[in-house]
Amino acid sequence: MTNAANHNDRAAWLQGPSAKCSSLPQAKAEPWRLVLLGPPGVGKGTQAALLTQQLGACHLSTGDVFRAARTQRDKAPSPAMAAALEYMSRGELVPDEIVWAMVRERITCLRCNGGYVLDGFPRTLAQADSLRKLLETERLRLDAVVNYVVPAEEIIARLSGRRTCINCKAIFHVSSQPSKIVGVCDKCGGRLYQREDDHPQSISVRLQAYERSTAPLIEFYKIRGLLVTVTATGSPQEVFQRTLMALDGRRKGQAKGQNIPAAINV
């Protein structure tokens, strides 16, 4: 796998189709199209940043779109977006219709020849089915769905110490991944803040929503032969290396025309 550095600002994804990305990921003959699954705080955003850097794909996070709408100063959110932000601050899932309208509006990002890593979408069976139908119509194929797993107590520790950059959305942790200067992003100098849904009350609502609505996607993708399960304990780099190994094995197997097992565990 090549390291294709990606400096895209994701404007078309974060702000909507009227915005233009600063630089499009390089088109590839075989772009990577991945979905990351796993409970809140497992490290999907952290891994998405590493994966997109390595694979040259774009990081498409639905949570980042909502957070970008909240911090946009020059434009009031639409009524649907304002409703979405209310759900989000309580830790509840945003209704499927609102999420799907938002993703559908950004279809050019799903068509991007540089590939993508979907993070936080799909999150319900209805969303997964809508995505499946759309990709089928567009003749686009998902390469894999990476399901990250860690013990529950680790999740709470990760979420309560997380800090996020208000500008570039880079992710830090007060003890496991601290920024060089407290409260300042290493990448762009932006202010680091604690997400409002990382407070204890919202964390427990989010974990329940995950178990009820998102965990069933593991079976959905397993029976479609797309699931790759990765243990997400250890450092972010260790988890990243495990992920690359699993994806590499999967693609090499596909190239040789081998039968890919219904689920890979690393």
Q: Which residues are catalytic?
A: 44, 123, 162, 195, 206
The one among 201, 235, 258, 265 contacting ligand AP5 by CB under 6 A = 235
State which of positions 93-112 bind ligand AP5 (CB under 6 A): 93-94, 99
242 near ligand AP5, rule: CB under 6 A: no
Q: Is 46 in the site for ligand AP5 (CB under 6 A)?
A: yes
Closest residue to ligand AP5: CB criterion: 63
Helix (H) or strand (E) holding 165: strand 162-165
Cα angle 37, 218, 155 (rounded to 5 degrees) comes to 45
Q: In terms of CB distance, is 88 or 228 closer to ligand AP5?
A: 88
3-class DSSP assignment, residue 230: strand
Alpha helices in the chain (DSSP H): 11-15, 44-55, 62-71, 79-90, 96-105, 107-111, 125-137, 152-160, 200-209, 216-222, 236-255
Rounded to whole angstroms, the Cα distance separating 227 from 40 reads 18
Q: Mark the segment that binds ligand AP5 (CB under 6 A) among 23-31, 60-68, 109-117, 186-194.
A: 60-68
The distance of closest approach from Cβ of residue 19 to ligand AP5 in the complex, given in angstroms and rounded to an integer, is 19
Among 177, 194, 241, 254, which residue sits at the site for ligand AP5 (rule: CB under 6 A)?
177
Q: How far is CA 96 from CA 52, 60, 120, 121, 124, in A?
A: 26, 17, 13, 11, 8
Q: Under the rule (CB under 6 A), what is the footprint of ligand AP5? A: 38, 40-46, 61-63, 66, 87-88, 91-94, 99, 120-121, 123, 127, 158-159, 161-162, 171-173, 176-177, 197, 206, 232, 235-236, 239
